[in-house]
């Protein structure tokens, strides 16, 4: 199956934080078109593919993306329009070669990934299959993922004193995706009531979670266990488990980790995580240590990797080369997957393949700056990775992904849960 692109267009739009991002449209020979909205992160790894921002302080405090849009409408349109492509990999390869940098900095990873996402939709439409089916690798069984709802926000995602960035609930024991979404919504509502009853504000952070003025992460975990119980569920892997994304790079400075007024070493942090999982039903910890603390990551994995999932995000940035190094060094046992971290869908799928081959888990993820685009719901389903995080069961740009999963489940019978 080949594909000819007849038009490529990008416009500057707003993401869920009110910051500029790109919306990309590809036109096809039959007169139809496909679209993609480009996500953007706040807490980012230093080795991520590079977003192209305008730097003009007179527009959006320098965060405009008119240059990136211009690169889509100009150089990338000239490169792609009228050519016949045999597959998505050929489209992505052409853009990577045209950019000519290791980080997609010249044309902008935000420009390239928007075209790549739209092109994947175009190939799916041409094949007459749902996007999730097109994204399913050979030999992989699609699976509806366990949603990880970010119900309490801290760190770079909220204006509070909480150092850990994300506290998530994961209905691992739910019998279906629809029941998992129900559990997430009901626990979220119970948590709102519990926080309000204790006098905490229930305003929302970037990803729809509550942002209470709580210092100690253990106090949040206690509230989560109570809310899970209040909603009528069992805390733990047979019911609703908890996942953490401390985003430790954000509170690592001067050679130490600064949490709730304490300065901790790598080994201190590992000991604190061990104490947490002894007391609370935490099944997954993402970015528990800073991205440069490779020796700490290795010790963390040795000590806790048989008991829970150790996920690399800032450490790995969805990069096949870095993931290969981490697998060899046994630094972690799972990878967070963000399409805009690496910049093309082809490279994203390659990273996920490396993880599968090594026995590593994968969790597909949104960014703090999102659009209504539901691409990652199809990606998580098609690749059968079994895990997706895309924020709280609140705010339209987050709920859109969960609703897409419900639609997929309603239309196609397939397994739900961790692989």
Task: Identify the pLDDT of residue 156.
Answer: 67
372 among the known binding-site residues? no
| Closest to 37 (Cα-Cα) out of 390, 413, 403, 375 | 375
Which residues on neighbouring strands pair with residue 127, listed in sequence order? none
Compute the distance between CA of residue 311 and CA of residue 145 in angstroms, rounded to an integer.
Answer: 16
262 is catalytic: no
338 is catalytic: yes
Choose the catalytic residue: 250, 338, 350, 370.
338
Choose the catalytic residue: 48, 186, 207, 350.
207
365 among the known binding-site residues? yes
Contacts of 375 (CB under 8 A, 6+ apart): 36, 117, 120, 121, 131, 339
166 among the known binding-site residues? yes
213 among the known binding-site residues? no
Task: Identify the pLDDT of residue 20.
Answer: 97
| Closest to 150 (Cα-Cα) out of 379, 402, 390 | 390
Task: Identify the pLDDT of residue 350.
Answer: 98
Write out the E strands in 250-320: 252-253, 256-259, 262-264, 282-286, 309-312
- Whole-model pTM: value is 0.96
Q: What per-residue string of b and e applies to 182-205 under the rule 16 or more CB within 10 Å gives b?
A: bbbbbbbebbbebbeeeebeeebb
165 among the known binding-site residues? yes
Encode pLDDT of 56-72 as tens digits.
999 999 999 999 999 99
What sign does the CA torsion over 226, 232, 237, 240 have? negative
Neighbours of 388 (CB within 10 A): 26
Task: Identify the pLDDT of residue 45.
Answer: 62
Judged by phi (left if over 0) then psi (alpha if -120 to 50, else beta), residue 318 lies in left
- Contact, 372 vs 37, CB < 8 A? yes
Element housing 132 (H / E)? helix 131-134
What sign does the CA torsion over 281, 286, 288, 293 have? positive
309 among the known binding-site residues? no
Structure tokens, 239? 């019911």
- Contact, 2 vs 304, CB < 8 A? no
Concatenated DSSP letters for 173-198?
T-SSHHHHHHHHHHHHHHHHHHHHHT
389 among the known binding-site residues? yes
* pLDDT tens sequence for the chain (419 residues): 789 999 999 999 999 999 999 999 999 999 999 999 999 977 666 788 999 999 999 999 999 999 999 999 999 999 999 999 999 999 999 999 999 999 999 999 999 999 999 999 999 999 999 999 999 999 999 999 999 999 998 876 667 788 999 999 999 999 999 999 999 999 999 999 999 999 998 888 888 999 888 889 999 999 999 999 999 999 999 999 999 999 999 999 989 999 988 999 999 999 999 999 999 999 999 999 999 999 999 999 999 999 999 999 999 999 999 999 999 999 999 999 999 999 999 999 999 999 999 999 999 999 989 999 999 999 999 999 999 999 999 999 999 999 999 999 999 889 999 97
367 among the known binding-site residues? yes
Compute the distance between CA of residue 285 and CA of residue 413 in angstroms, rounded to an integer.
Answer: 30
35 among the known binding-site residues? no
């Amino acid at each position: 199956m080949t594909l000819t692109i007849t038009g490529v267009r990008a416009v500057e739009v707003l993401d869920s934080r009110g910051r500029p991002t790109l919306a990309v449209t590809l036109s096809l020979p039959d007169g139809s078109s496909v679209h993609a909205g480009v996500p953007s992160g706040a807490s980012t790894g230093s080795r991520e593919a590079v977003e192209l921002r305008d730097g003009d302080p007179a527009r959006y405090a320098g965060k405009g993306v008119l240059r990136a849009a211009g690169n889509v409408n100009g150089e990338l349109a000239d490169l792609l329009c009228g050519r016949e492509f045999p597959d998505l990999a050929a489209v992505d390869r052409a853009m990577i070669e045209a950019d000519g940098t290791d980080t997609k900095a010249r044309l902008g990873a935000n420009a390239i990934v928007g075209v790549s996402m739209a092109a994947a939709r175009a190939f799916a439409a041409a094949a007459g299959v749902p996007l999730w089916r097109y994204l399913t690798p050979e030999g992989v069984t699609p699976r509806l993922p366990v949603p990880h709802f970010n119900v309490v926000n801290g760190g770079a995602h909220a204006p509070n004193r909480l150092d850990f960035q994300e506290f998530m609930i994961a209905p691992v024991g739910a019998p279906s995706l629809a029941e998992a979404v129900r559990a997430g919504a009901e626990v979220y509502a119970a948590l709102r009531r519990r926080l309000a009853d204790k006098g905490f504000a229930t305003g929302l952070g970037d990803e729809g979670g509550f942002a209470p003025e709580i210092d100690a992460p253990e106090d949040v975990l206690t509230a989560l266990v109570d809310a899970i119980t209040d909603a009528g569920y069992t805390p733990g892997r047979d019911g609703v488990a908890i996942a953490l994304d401390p985003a430790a790079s954000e509170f690592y400075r001067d050679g130490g980790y600064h949490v709730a007024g304490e300065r901790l070493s790598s080994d201190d942090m590992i000991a604190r995580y061990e104490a947490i999982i002894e007391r609370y039903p935490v099944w997954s910890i993402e970015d528990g240590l800073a991205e440069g603390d490779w020796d700490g990551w290795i010790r963390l994995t040795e000590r806790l990797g048989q008991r829970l999932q150790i996920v690399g995000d800032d450490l790995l940035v969805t990069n096949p080369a870095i993931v290969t190094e981490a697998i060899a060094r046994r630094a972690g046992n799972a990878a967070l997957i963000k399409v805009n971290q690496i910049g093309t869908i082809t490279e994203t799928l390659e990273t996920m393949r490396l993880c599968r081959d090594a026995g590593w888990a994968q969790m597909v993820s949104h960014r703090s700056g999102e659009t209504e685009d539901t691409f990652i719901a199809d990606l998580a389903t098609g690749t059968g990775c079994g895990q997706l995080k895309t924020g709280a069961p609140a705010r339209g740009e987050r709920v859109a992904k969960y609703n897409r999963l419900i639609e997929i489940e309603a239309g196609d019978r397939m397994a739900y849960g961790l692989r």
